[in-house]
Amino acid sequence: MSFPSGSVSFRRFVVTGQHPKSIDQSQLDGLTEFTLKESEYTPEEIEYGWSGGRHIFDSKFSFEHNVFADALHFALRIDTNRVPSAHKHAYQIIEEENTAAANPSGQISKLQKREVKDVVRRKIDEDLRSGRFRRSKLVPILWDFPGHTLYSPASSSDCEKLFEIFERTFSLTLDPLSTGSIAQRYFEKHHKKRDYEDLRPTRFVPGPEGENQHPEYPWCLKGPQPKDFLGNEFLLWLWHHIETHGGTIKTDEANDVAIVLDRLLELDCAYGQTGKDSLRGDGPTRMPEARDALRSGKLPRRAGFLLENGGHQFQFTLAAESLALSSVVLPDVEEAEDGRVLFEERIAMLRELSKGMDALFHTFLKLRTTSWESQVTSIRNWIQKASKHAAA
């Protein structure tokens, strides 16, 4: 499990509904009720349920093993029961050959072919019941009660199962956070809903077809939150700020946050025409390819960062639209008395990291609706200078 030790990957989900004030036995009982139990009958192709999280077969939930620092730690177990097509094909051929060999003609009749299909079906059912082809995985989950937030690296396909069983278990819903949804919450909180509705993509450079072409952000048009382009603009703003003003950014919520781009930079064309670039290595933003990408209308979609907040330094990769963090390296916890203290310290650091990221993004959102024109002018000039530097 990634949350108690090692590097961490997650995106965040807001828990909505009548959220419990604190963790009590009812949550543990709910998890126990919907634990995945292997059936003695032919299983479904996809089965899922809760797990205690310590290992695949962990079906026990307790305060000792699952509750840490006002957070509930568990997992979603997803089992896939599927006999490979190659095995099915082999079963079919073997049965047909055996049946044909017993016939004087050496051929198999139509009736026998139907019978063979029944035999093969029974073989497949036996394989499934035996668990021979069962594949299990655990999706780690950390439910932060004070923040009404759930952390998990669940993929898009995993999320469908997570949302369904979470609501069935707790009568609560999960709303995935993205830059668009965070912006909506931020502006509604500050009674500026109209500002959110008026947000439109910014044109930082002329499009491939000329000055009048505006960016389309094709990856956002296909998604559930069309204003997730704010994440791409956020990463570009961070890049610009780091190179022109240094990596320390003043925020209203977390004081000064220090941040540096490092190791990875992935860009995509906001106009959907010039393709993608992936740059890896020390200082990817200093590579000539990065500057060429900006000039051609590409914007960041993923980037590696070093961030310092609250006296702790974090290393991670950030996805622009979802603000999902992957390969997060948390600071070492020195002199932890036991595993519980270590895990609770790590939970505090995850909260601190999330607070720092939110503070940076909220600072960007505040600029986005106040002094954005001057920011855009500065970014455009910076891109032009970067292009001239690359040409030189």
**Residues 264 and 363 both lie in one domain:** yes
Distance between CA 162 and CA 177 in Å, rounded?
15
Quote the pLDDT of residue 75. Answer: 97
Tell me if 219 is assigned to some domain: yes
Tell me if 3 is assigned to some domain: no
Tell me if 2 is assigned to some domain: no
Quote the pLDDT of residue 1. Answer: 52
**Residues 54 and 36 both lie in one domain:** yes
**Residues 249 and 150 both lie in one domain:** no
pTM of the model: 0.90
**Residues 224 and 308 both lie in one domain:** yes
Tell me if 152 is assigned to some domain: yes
Using alpha carbons, list the distances in angstroms from residue 132 to 84, 128, 307: 11, 6, 46
Residue that finishes a domain, picked among 68, 96, 130:
130
**Residues 324 and 202 both lie in one domain:** yes
Quote the pLDDT of residue 384. Answer: 87
Q: Based on C-alpha coordinates, what's the Rg of the chain?
A: 26
Using alpha carbons, list the distances in angstroms from residue 83 to 45, 79, 113, 176, 182: 9, 13, 21, 33, 42
Angle subtended at Cα 350 by Cα 154 and Cα 235, rounded to the nearest 5 degrees = 75
**Residues 236 and 305 both lie in one domain:** yes
Our count of domains for the chain comes to 3
Quote the pLDDT of residue 370. Answer: 94
Per-residue pLDDT tens for 35-47? Answer: 998 877 889 999 9
What does pLDDT average to in each consecutive run of 10 residues of the chain (392 residues)? 89 97 97 90 92 94 96 97 94 93 91 93 92 94 97 95 98 97 95 94 89 88 84 97 94 89 96 92 92 93 95 96 96 87 95 96 96 96 71 44
Range of the domain at 106: 85-130
**Residues 349 and 226 both lie in one domain:** yes
Quote the pLDDT of residue 41. Answer: 81
Residue that finishes a domain, picked among 100, 115, 130:
130
Quote the pLDDT of residue 386. Answer: 59
**Residues 101 and 117 both lie in one domain:** yes
Residue that finishes a domain, picked among 105, 130, 155:
130
Cite the beta strand spans of 285-354 per DSSP E.
298-309, 312-319, 325-329
Cite the beta strand spans of the chain per DSSP E.
8-16, 46-51, 67-68, 71-81, 134-144, 149-152, 173-176, 248-250, 256-269, 276-281, 298-309, 312-319, 325-329
| Whether 309 contacts 353, CB under 8 Å | yes
CA atoms within 13 A on the CB side of 335: 0
Beta partners for 368? none
**Residues 164 and 120 both lie in one domain:** no
Tell me if 1 is assigned to some domain: no
**Residues 207 and 276 both lie in one domain:** yes
Phi then psi for residue 15, to 5 deg, are -90, 115
Tell me if 200 is assigned to some domain: yes
**Residues 150 and 273 both lie in one domain:** no
Tell me if 149 is assigned to some domain: yes
**Residues 102 and 73 both lie in one domain:** no
Q: Tell me the one-letter amino acid at 153.
A: P
Per-residue pLDDT tens for 101-156? Answer: 999 999 999 999 999 999 999 999 999 999 899 999 999 999 999 999 999 999 99
Tell me if 302 is assigned to some domain: yes
